[in-house]
Chain A
């Protein structure tokens, strides 16, 4: 339990650090990009939304840094991330609220599948060295060296098209309205297949390789020799003794690698014009929509932290020693 509380404290601290970073980045830049946007939209902006942008981007030069910081936090607690200029005059929180479920489902599900699949193959490759899985390694090395988004482009080029089963862009057919019904859900699933496949192929090799190496390391532990000496069936030695122990460092690895994977998946969304956070971020970039970009960054960071916490809980359940790693 103490371990768990420590982790929660750490994530709270990290969240604080990310928010503070978000506070400082726009303040370090010379010139006021947001000021010019405000000027551009003058007349369409209410006094209240101008005030909120002033707080977010530190345009109120009369105030001290500390009181700016306090105001910033107050505003965040109200869920106010400012107005998006790309989707003017929708608030950033609303834009993100629409995009977040798409990313959570696509990236969340694919990442978990990729982890499970890669770990499974890694167990095979590490246990039965020299089997067919080893032949897979060079191929997966190549795929892991390819940027996710390029693989997405290739997937669209090869598999998608007007006559193909796979749609090349979007999250659902254009005639549909998002709803939990028999028209929308199949369409959404169909649209997610190619992006999911792209993420899966790019990310699975890392798990295969790390699990394989952990299996090799664990295989020479004493308790594996004991398990063999006990005459246990091969499967039990491989799964319950070797893989079960090799899994633990891989789970802490999962938590740490998540930040890297999320970066790649955002780009896949961009290539497929998938209506998630990555695509939203790209739209914000084009319009120099700083409130939107900052909001997206915050939400991504918080999501990664929550996922990390979940991985920690998994670790806690799997390792009776619950000793802190490293």
Chain B
């Protein structure tokens, strides 16, 4: 497997401080390799977005990172912990190394500025010496790359359709040629046709430009189709991680199975559709033991008392995948 570009180690994120703090992300270990698309799936409230905002330190108050490291491997030079950067270093790192395409395509653009202004101010911030002419040329080039004609440079966000706005955001994310692009539910607000069109375009761009993607969505079907590896989150923890095809064919965690059976298969044999009974856990009052056990059809004796560790399962294809479930106790804990 390729070398890592971003390693999340034991990341913990809380909302609030003290006794009333809610633990939204707990002991997450995750590695993104160069050039891959890593999918992050889970119901709303599973902590997947908190993870993304936490590792970039963009989480709004009262979010607090209570521990862990986010190790970034630049193309040249030694690796460093993003959480240890000063404000100035962090600002320089943002967008140039890791860019984000946000959930709300509608509200991600500043309504009072032209598209061109919002594309060029990144360039100005990261490379003050760049001439105005070349900034504008670069912005034009990015718009062309995502399939928007250059005459929309002077348009305001409200003059563009939802799909176009999201394309602008993707173009903006790639303008500094970052190594990592985090996509947080990038297409939820769009219709299905537009979703696939935009994602297809993104994958094509990835092959051309060679960046890595962390793709966050609740829609596992999209992940199965577009990502290389999938990590599934539940109650603030990663419960299973494996290559996309492996998850699709043979998920080990009952929660993953539940997620998979809640959408129709795109290709291959038909499966029976079934949802997951119950609702996602309240982060403020997590059940003891495995947080999924109250909803789990296969819960047994250790599940309500001890938390299963994420590790390599005891299955024949155990290498290259990990799961946190008492049905498949870890042979070798990860991290």
Contact = CB atoms under 8 A, between A and B. Distances in A.
Interface stretch (A204-212, A218-226, A270-278): A218-226
B276 interface: no
B107 A221 contact: yes
A230 B112 CA distance: 17
A248 B113 CA distance: 13
Interface string A229-260: 11111001000110011001000000000000
A225 B60 contact: yes
Contact of A231 (B96, B104, B109): B96
Interface in B90-123: 90-96, 99-100, 102-104, 107-113, 121-122
B158 A245 contact: no
Nearest to B122: A230
Interface string A260-291: 00000000000000000000000000000000
Given A245-B112, A318-B112, A229 B121 contact: no
A135 interface: no
Contact of A220 (B60, B90, B110): B60
A236 B108 contact: no
A interface bracket (residues with beta carbon within 8 Å of B)? 20 to 34
Contact of A230 (B111, B113, B121): B121
A129 to B, nearest CB: 9
A253 B107 CA distance: 23
A10 B158 CA distance: 26
B95 A223 contact: no
Contacts of A241: 110
Interface centre among A223, A233, A318, by most chain B C-beta atoms within 10 angstroms, is A223
Contacts of A319: 111-112
Interface residues of B, number: 31
A232 B176 CA distance: 13
Interface string B213-254: 000000000000000000000000000000000000000000
A284 B109 CA distance: 56
A228 B109 CA distance: 12
A233 B112 contact: no
A222 B102 contact: yes
A314 to B, nearest CB: 13
Interface string A36-65: 000000000000000000000000000000
A319 B100 CA distance: 27
Contacts of A2: none
B162 to A, nearest CB: 14
A320 B95 contact: no
A78 interface: no
B108 A222 contact: yes
A231 B58 CA distance: 11
Contacts of A248: 112
A231 B122 contact: yes
> Taking chain A's interface residues, is the majority helix, strand, or loop, or is none over half, making it mixed?
helix
A281 B169 CA distance: 59
A229 B169 CA distance: 12
A320 B156 CA distance: 7
B56 interface: yes
A233 B110 contact: no
B126 interface: yes
B70 to A, nearest CB: 15
B273 interface: no
B102 A225 contact: yes
Interface string B149-182: 0000000101000000000010010000000000
A249 to B, nearest CB: 12
Contacts of A137: none
A188 interface: no
Contacts of A236: 121, 125
B112 A231 contact: no
A225 B169 CA distance: 13
Given A221-B107, A241-B110, A320-B156, A230 B102 contact: no
A105 B90 CA distance: 49
B58 A233 contact: no
Contacts of B169: 226
Interface string A296-322: 000000000000000000000011110
Contacts of B107: 221-223
User: Top 5 closest A-B pairs, CB basis?
Assistant: A231-B94, A222-B107, A231-B91, A320-B156, A223-B110
Interface of B: 53, 56, 58, 60, 90-96, 99-100, 102-104, 107-113, 121-122, 125-126, 156, 158, 169, 172
Given A225-B58, A227-B110, 13 more contacts: A221-B107, A222-B102, A222-B103, A222-B107, A229-B56, A229-B58, A229-B102, A230-B94, A230-B122, A231-B90, A236-B125, A245-B112, A320-B156
Interface of A: 220-223, 225-233, 236, 240-241, 244-245, 248, 318-321
